[in-house]
Structure 1
Amino acid sequence: MTFSWTSHRFAGGSLALDVANSVVLRPDASRRIDRFADAAAMDAFAAGVNRHCAERDVYGPVAPVPPAGRARFIGLREAIDRHFRAEASGNGDPALLADLLDAISATLRTSRGDKDCLLDTATARSALFLAANPQPERLKICPNCQWLFLDRSRNRSRAWCDMAVCGNRVKASRHYYRHREETVQ
Structure 2
Amino acid sequence: MKDIKECLLSRTSVRRYEREVIPQETMDFIYKAIANTPTSYNGQQFSVIDIDDQELKEELYVMTNQKQLKTCNRLLIFCSDYNKITRLAERKGFNVPEFTNTMDGVTVGIIDASLAMMSAVVAAQAAGLGSNCIGYLRTVDPARLAEMLKLPKGVFVVCGLALGVPREQPDLKPK
TM-score, normalised to structure 2's length?
A: 0.28
Structure number having the greater helix percentage:
1
TM-score, normalised to structure 1's length?
A: 0.27
Structure number having the greater strand percentage:
2
